[in-house]
Amino acid sequence: MKIDFAIVGAGPAGLAAAALAAELGLDTLLIDEQEGPGGQIYRAIERADAAGSSSFGADYLAGQPLVAAFRASGARYRPATTVWHIDPDGTLSLASNGASDTIHARRILLATGAIERPVPIPGWTLPGVMTVGAAQILVKTADLVPEGRVVLAGQGPLLYLAALQLARAGTPSASLLEMTPRENYHAALHHLGGLWAGRHAVAKGLGWLVALRQAGIAVRRGVRGLRALGRERVERVVWEGGEIAADHLFLHEGVTPNTQISFALQLEHRWDETQLSWRPDTDAWGRTSVPNIAIAGDGAGVGGAEAAALAGRLAALDAAAVLGRISEAERDRQGQPILAALTRERTIRPFLDALYRPAPAVLAPADDGVIACRCEEVTVGQIRRAVRLGAPGPNQLKAFTRCGMGPCQGRICGPIVGAVIAEARGVPIRDIGTYRPRAPYKPITVGALAGMGAAE
Amino acid sequence: MPEGASAAAAVLLAGLASLRDTPVTGSARTPYCMMGVCFDCLAEIDGVPNRQSCMVTARPGMRVRRQRGAREIDPHDLPGELPSFPIPAARSGGA
């Protein structure tokens, strides 16, 4: 099958891009791993009704018009489908229902969003320890509200939002352990200009704090040295100077771009020292170092859902211009107000990035016993030992320890490995580099591969 | 359990102590990320091992089995004798 425009990921960036691209006359296909549109932020949004979803608030329901516009646009849709390889010639290899097929697209947009930053603490592999995003997904998709004593730990807007959502959804009592380093407050003050421009976002954040208090959630600040303890599952959460009994521990230290496919494609990336993450090099339209591949949304640098939708529209306009549906002048004319809105949306970021910058001990845990690679169960101490034995970077580390060689393909341990090696060698993370991910981006069965030829 | 919930969510709802044991140390794991990233929710679903249960929608009658260690390969599933690959002797002096 040959199409104009393939979009990978049905979150805000992908949905907005698909709707506009189809409207501009491009034969557009939106491919997504989930069964319904929305990505992680608007997960199960089509199941939500305005009245019944009050625990998620207006920010969540903002996904409804996006999905409605996409559904009405005429863009094609392949849900429950995994993109497991992209060839720079425009061929995408897809897997769904245990079978694999390929399509060819004249232009490809990666809208693969963000993933939660790993929070490697002692005990983070214990049953009962999950990410804050996981807790949200369980409520959104399964009406599953954690029972018992709930502890949320880490920092960032999503942590407060999730605590509030859990309280509204019926979690009886929760404690929030804020791990924001004290020096972050001073650093964030330098971004007061951004704070003024982003005052709506700040007001929203202050509103959450008030609501947390009203919801009876105990907030403890300046928490360091967090550990999860328990035999069969998490039983206690301990930190420097305190401890609390826990049946669930939800961790969050912000999100980072999901760069698995962009690195596999060997697009140009650079280290972003303010967001402490790698991001692909993109221009204002989302163009990358490979001419027919663009990236929009958090996958190109974390900016949030509203910024992602705007970036998706810019990428759609550019695709229409490149593929000859509109002129470059028309692209610029329609793009100008979107670009202005995107700039406004991003003004708050430097403030948020400075305020919620992860502590060095979150990036590279001091405790040698902490597991870095959850799949192969490689500890931080084993990584430090491998560096002493001469492993200079993440890819050599694989041969020394199998770190990053399990089923997640380094998605979780990648950031930890980069930070630990950098610390051990005394060089900046940007000089360490990353794993080089390869296809298949997600495991597929030999049966699905073998069936490809027969189906074509 | 609402329609569209994942097999991993169903397992958590059922209160199972763990979904898999790790291949390396055999320690118990339950889902960590619920969004297809961590692979800690790998389980055998309807006879197919190593599936990301957080990415599979639960359906009536679905069988989700706890996966112990790496997936097993049943020798009866393989056609005939396992092929053997002779390993060439290491050459000295090469790069």
Residue-wise pLDDT tens digits, B19-44: 899 999 999 999 999 999 999 999 99
Partner B contacted by A127 (CB < 8 A): yes
Out of A125, A134, A442, the one facing B34 most closely (by C-beta) is A134
Q: Chain B window 40-69: which residues touch A at a Cβ cutoff of 8 Å?
A: 40, 42, 48, 50, 52, 54-55, 57
Q: What 8-state DSSP symbol labels residue B6?
A: B
Question: Is the model's pLDDT at B89 over the cut of 50?
Answer: no
Partner B contacted by A138 (CB < 8 A): yes
pLDDT at B86: 41
pLDDT at A50: 54
Binning pLDDT at 50, 70 and 90, where does residue A272 land? very high
pLDDT tens by residue, A245-261: 999 999 999 999 999 99
Out of A40, A142, A445, the one facing B13 most closely (by C-beta) is A142
The most confident of the ranges A97-101, A195-199, A202-206 is A97-101
Q: What average pLDDT does range A279-305 have in this prediction?
A: 98
pLDDT at A195: 64
Q: Residue A35 and residue B4: Cβ atoms within 8 Å?
A: yes
Q: Residue A47 and residue B3: Cβ atoms within 8 Å?
A: yes
Name the nearest CA neighbour of A147 among A169, A127, A124.
Answer: A169
pLDDT tens by residue, A210-258: 888 888 999 999 999 999 999 999 999 999 999 999 999 999 999 999 9
The answer to which of A128-142, A248-262, B13-27, B78-92 has the lowest mean pLDDT is B78-92
> Coil, strand or helix: which one is B20?
strand
> Coil, strand or helix: which one is B57?
strand
ipTM: 0.93
> Which residues of chain A does B29 touch, with a Cβ-Cβ cutoff of 8 Å?
125, 127, 374
- End-to-end distance of chain A based on CA atoms, in angstroms? 10
pLDDT at A331: 98
Question: Is the model's pLDDT at A52 over the cut of 60?
Answer: no
Q: Chain A window 406-445: which residues touch B at a Cβ cutoff of 8 Å?
A: 406-408, 411-412, 442-443, 445
Q: Residue B9 and residue A142: Cβ atoms within 8 Å?
A: yes
pLDDT at A456: 47
Q: How far is B93 from chain A (nearest CA, A)?
A: 22
Out of A34, A141, A233, the one facing B9 most closely (by C-beta) is A141
Question: What is the torsion angle, in degrees rounded to the nearest 10, for the CA atoms of residue A152, residue A156, residue A157 and residue A160?
Answer: 20
The pairing of beta strand A269-272 with beta strand A277-280: antiparallel
